[in-house]
Amino acid sequence: MSQVLGKPLLRKEDPVLLSGRGRYADDLPVPNGTVHAHIIRSPHAHATILRIDASAALAEAGVWAVVTGEDVRRISDPFLIALKPQINQWSLAVERVRYFGEPVALVVADTRYLAEDAAELVQIDYEPLPAVVDLEAARSPSAPLLHPEARTNEISVRRFSYGDPKGAFEGADARVALTLDYPRNSFTPIECYVVVAEYRPHEKSYDVLANFQGPFSTHAVMARALRVPGTKLRLRIPPDSGGSFGIKLSIFPYIVLAALAARITGRPVKWVEDRAEHLAAASSGPNRITEIEAAVRKDGRILALRLDQIEDYGAFLRAPMPGPLYRMHGAVTGAYDIANVEVTNRVVLTNKMPASLIRGFGGPQLYMALERLVQRIAIELHLDPLEVIKRNVIAREKFPYKAAAGALYDSGDYLRAVELAVGNGRLEDLKRRRDVARAAGRPYGIGFAAIVEPGMSNMGYLSTLLTAEARDKPGPKNGAISMATLNIDPLGAVSLTADVTVQGQGHATVLSQIVAEQLGLKVGDITVILELDTLKDEWSIAAGTYSCRFSPGAAVAAHLAAVRMRDKLAEIAAKQLNILPDDVEFADGMIGSRNNPDNALPFGRVAGTAHWSPVMLPEGMPPGLRETAVWSPPGLEPPSSEDRVNTSLTYGFVFDMCGVEIDPLTFEARVDRYVSMHDAGRLLNPLIAMGQMRGSFAQGIAAALYEEFVYDENGAFLSGTFADYLVPTVGEIPPVEILHMETPSPFTPLGAKGIAEGNCMSVPACIANAIADALGVKDVRLPATPRRLHALMAAAEPKRPPPTSRGGR
């Protein structure tokens, strides 16, 4: 029945972007009188601010203001965070700096060039303090304190137990344990942050344009910081965005900062982040140390898991942190059927840039631990790693499957996905390649990873951070609201808005497909406007584009709006055509009788009735054609009193398998062959889905082999340019064979799950497993750079791998 939905249609966004006619934040006209801001940032990882003397800068012509932490403290409040020990953060450093690159002062001048000149005249005296960079060191009682008022750097510790982990560990044949250290990285969109803020003194309101990505729960955080009701912070999102990957949530402190500067100067203020600022201070994924242990039967069946996850959030906890520890919480057992789990989550602060949203959001860290553990189980029990995976994945008959920590997995056939991926000679080929390489003396390993990819977060997941009693006080948080509005004008032209932010995925195309499908129109007939305006558009706290909420969320809202519109038009048409609404068909721009194709009216004619001649509408029908649909899926309950939480609405599956060869001369890891099997339910547009998987794969490769934010032991930042922070170019991204199967989600009307994050989660683990196999080592640190691999090879246990013949080298 599907006409356009599910088809690999080309993107309607492309002609504009290919012609240089995109409208990105920095492209849009600014109000008359706009002045420009430059941020002075901390050169220290930890220091007391003794004095800021801006007099010389302020004496320069064209300089409007030098805003400092004291100004900001006077007229704004610290950002709300999810935890009680108040970790105060304003949009500028107050009294102290706590990471290299932290904003200290804002210089506002007629042009950016002038603002940067004036910044050099601002005198700031610091008294350096000892910095703590290492995650473990930060937990020590003798460590320098980031926030003395919190009295510890380990600001949250929560223990969870599901089932009977203690009993399972006691009765197990064996225990297998491993410690992992996941690095800091980011996905650095090529477009940096942009904010243009205005203040209207008579209304005491702010009007801001920014390439913010959501979640819009953060709008409340910004409004509270600015001490205004939400209606006095109008936030507008431009029509195009140069990528986000989670990173453009963390623009929010700068939105507040520019808004305050607009208030102080009485002028509209524009700030554009540069790349050096972005790398040093925009946002990072958190680094995490995981101690993981499994209780196993000797056939490899996992009876219980124990995880101690210690996560480094940098200098401040920003909303909605510590999300990466909790977003995966319900699904902490991954793709495996494990009834007994014990989890300890620790939130630690160090003198690094604050961690925040990033594609994969907690998944890469979790699966690095879980999938490396599964490989270790195989090694220690002398089993085949693939066998261990197969013995533990959740069986098809168990869906919908209630995971130990509370996730309700909607659908899947994991074993079949694994078998399809390894089948068709693929695994044989990998083994053959491995044997050839090893016979020639070149280290070569095969890795696997089986992961669950959550889609559309339960907005209540973060409250799992609090104890059940503490949760009761503010009342429950849960759900995941999506909204879309469909409008038809007096000539029958159709337009749609939805509560997503554009980041380049192609949402306008997919939403057009969804609407066109229902209304019997062409994709080109649907105008989709995604430049969100918080005062005029529909949105709620979950709005934005993150955590794979498009396909299970906003897309469904658009579908529901289209179905409602279709029903309304069917009734109007039925009356005019003298047929029953059930007999009405929408096709090729006509609305007519299914049984008598000659009895039909043009779409625009029927739609026009609702505007031009309300008297002709069926009895009681309100005129006009505008439908706002709200999709609030059932099943996303608040955390239970036992701390079980269904963290997401849908759960896709990814199974990866790869062969990695390590060059014995350069110590570079080369991905020889990579196969990735996806089940993301129904695909709404396979072309766009493929784009998401390929992009996600490349970012997984980046995290596995190249990218890392490096600090020295004093907290100096060593990854300050794209020459130091190595974003892969085309030469570094190996080919990937992407396979797909569909087990539609029964929990959403479209059956579609998230697809954009899976490979970010699976690739680092899969490559680490291959490297462990190649070198016969237990500890693999990512990114697996030549320097690290060289160190591993020097220290490799001599008994593996056992190459039978050495090559010619």
Partner 1 sequence: MRRVNPDERAKIAFWLNGRRVSGEAEPRMLLTDFLRHVLGATGTHVGCEHGICGSCTVLIDGVAQRGCLTLAAQAEERAVTTVESLAGADGALNALQTAFQKHHALQCGFCTPGILMSFTDYFARNPNASEADIRAVLGGHLCRCTGYAGIVEALVEASRSGNPAA
Residue ranges binding partner 1 (CB under 8 A): 10-11, 13-15, 17-22, 24, 26-27, 113, 187-192, 240-243, 245, 274-276, 503-506, 687-688, 690-691, 694-699, 721-723, 727, 729-731, 733, 735-736
| Shortest separation between residue 276's beta carbon and ligand FES, angstroms | 12
For 495, phi then psi, to 5°, come to -135, 155
Within positions 177 to 196, which residues make up the interface with ligand FES, using CB under 6 A? Answer: 190
Is 730 a binding residue for ligand FES by CB under 6 A? The answer is no
Q: How far is the CB of 279 from partner 1 (least distance, A)?
A: 9
Instruction: Write the interaction track for ligand FES spanning residues 607-646; mark x where CB under 6 A is met and - where it is not.
Output: ----------------------------------------
Residues 455-494 vs ligand FES: string with x where CB under 6 A?
Answer: ----------------------------------------
CB of 692 to ligand FES, least distance (A): 12
Cβ atoms < 10 Å from Cβ of 528: 24
Cis peptide, bond prior to residue 801, ω within 30 of zero: yes
- Closest separation in Å from C-beta 318 to ligand FES: 25
- Whether 781 and 717 have beta carbons less than 8 Å apart is answered as no
Of 144 and 242, the one with the shorter C-beta distance to ligand FES is 242
* Partner from partner 1, ligand FES, none contacting 24, C-beta within 5 to 8 A by type: partner 1
What tokens appear for 625 in the block? 């054609």
Nearest distance from C-beta of residue 19 to ligand FES, angstroms: 15
Nearest residue (CB) to partner 1, 612 versus 722: 722
Residue 735 interacts, among partner 1, ligand FES, none and using kind-specific CB cut-offs from 5 to 8 Å, with partner 1
Give yes or no for a contact between 392 and 322, defined as CB atoms under 8 angstroms apart: no
CB of 242 to ligand FES, least distance (A): 6
Q: How does DSSP classify residue 190?
A: S
CB-based contact 372:768 (threshold 8 Å): yes
- CA 651 – CA 411 distance, rounded (Å): 7
268 contacts ligand FES (rule: CB under 6 A)? no
**Residues binding ligand FES: what is the number (CB under 6 A)?**
3
Residue 19 interacts, among ligand FES, partner 1, none and using kind-specific CB cut-offs from 5 to 8 Å, with partner 1
Q: Which strand (E) or helix (H) includes residue 449?
A: strand 444-457
Nearest-angstrom CA–CA distance, 202 and 687: 50
| Distance between first and last Cα of the chain | 61
* Residue 34 beta carbon to partner 1: minimum distance, rounded to whole angstroms: 11
The minimum distance between CB 273 and partner 1, in angstroms, equals: 11
Backbone phi, psi, residue 706, to 5°: -125, -50
Q: Is 243 in the site for ligand FES (CB under 6 A)?
A: yes
CB nearer partner 1, residue 240 or residue 311: 240
The amino acid at 380: E
Nearest Cα to Cα of residue 607 among 496, 522, 514, 488: 488
In angstroms, what CA-CA distances link 665 with 69, 445, 511, 774, 785? 52, 17, 51, 15, 13
**Rounded least distance, CB 32 to partner 1, Å:** 15
What's the closest the beta carbon of residue 237 comes to partner 1, in angstroms? 14
For ligand FES, which is the closer residue by CB, 441 or 691? 691
Of 243 and 749, CB closest to ligand FES = 243
Q: How far apart are CA 413 and CA 395, in angstroms?
A: 7
* C-alpha dihedral, 26 to 29 to 33 to 37, nearest 10°: 0
Q: Which is nearer to partner 1, 152 or 503 (CB)?
A: 503
Distance CA 596, CA 580 (A): 12
- 10 Å Cβ neighbour count for 396? 14
CB of 19 to partner 1, least distance (A): 5
The residue (of 16 and 791) whose beta carbon lies closer to partner 1 is 16
Write the CB contacts of 147 (distance below 8 Å, at least 6 apart in sequence).
Answer: 85, 87, 88, 155, 349
Residues 644-683: x/- map of binding to ligand FES (CB under 6 A)?
A: ----------------------------------------
Closest CA to 485 of 542, 552, 532: 532
**CB of 1 or CB of 190, closer to ligand FES:** 190
**447 in Cβ contact with 376 (< 8 Å):** no
**Per-residue b or e along 216-245, where b marks 16 or more CB atoms closer than 10 Å to that residue's CB:** bbbbebbbbbbebeeebbbbbbbbbbbbbb
Closer to partner 1 by CB, 411 or 513: give it: 513
Q: Residue 637: what are its φ and ψ, rounded to 5°?
A: -80, 160
728 binds ligand FES (CB under 6 A): no
687 touches which of partner 1, ligand FES, none (CB within 5 to 8 A by kind)?
partner 1
**Which of residues 274 and 642 has its CB atom nearest to partner 1 in the complex?**
274
Selection from ligand FES, partner 1, none that 239 binds (CB < 5 to 8 A by kind) is none
Per-residue tokens: 42: 């901390």
Residue with smaller CB distance to partner 1, 194 or 307: 194
The Cα–Cα gap between 5 and 544 comes to: 23
CB of 737 to partner 1, least distance (A): 11
Q: Which of ligand FES, partner 1, none has residue 597 at its interface (CB below 5 to 8 Å by kind)?
A: none
Residue found by looking up tokens 């109000």 in the block = 31
* C-alpha span between 313 and 129 (Å, rounded): 19
Across-strand partners of 780? none
The one-letter amino acid at 446: I
> What phi and psi values does residue 392 have, to the nearest 5 degrees?
-110, -20
Binder of residue 10, out of partner 1, ligand FES, none (CB less than 5 to 8 A by kind): partner 1
**Closer Cβ to ligand FES, 87 or 502, answer by number:** 502
CB of 477 to ligand FES, least distance (A): 33
723 binds, among partner 1, ligand FES, none (CB under 5 to 8 A by kind): partner 1
Q: Which is nearer to ligand FES, 183 or 504 (CB)?
A: 504
Question: What's the min distance (Å) between Cβ of 192 and partner 1?
Answer: 8
Tell me whether strands 35-41 and 103-109 are parallel, antiparallel or unpaired.
antiparallel
Nearer to partner 1, 285 or 801 (CB): 285
Rounded to whole angstroms, the Cα distance separating 258 from 255 reads 5
CB of residue 345 to ligand FES, shortest distance in Å: 34
| Nearest residue (beta carbon) to ligand FES | 190
Nearest distance from residue 20's CB to partner 1, in Å?
2
Number of helices (H), then strands (E), belonging to the chain: the values are 21, 28
What x-and-dash track marks residues 497-516 binding ligand FES by CB under 6 A?
-------x------------
- Report the nearest approach of ligand FES to the CB of residue 22 (Å): 11
Q: Which does 404 bind (CB under 5 to 8 A by kind): ligand FES, partner 1, none?
A: none
Half-sphere exposure of 538 (CA within 13 A, CB side): 22
Annotate 295-306 with b (16+ C-beta within 10 A) or e (fewer).
Answer: bbeeebbbbbbb
530 SS3 class: coil
CB nearer to ligand FES: pick between 504 and 608? 504
What DSSP assignment string belongs to 61-88? TTEEEEEEHHHHHHH--PPP-SSSS---
Inter-residue contact 484 to 554 (CB < 8 Å): yes
Q: Which residues bind ligand FES (CB under 6 A)?
A: 190, 243, 504
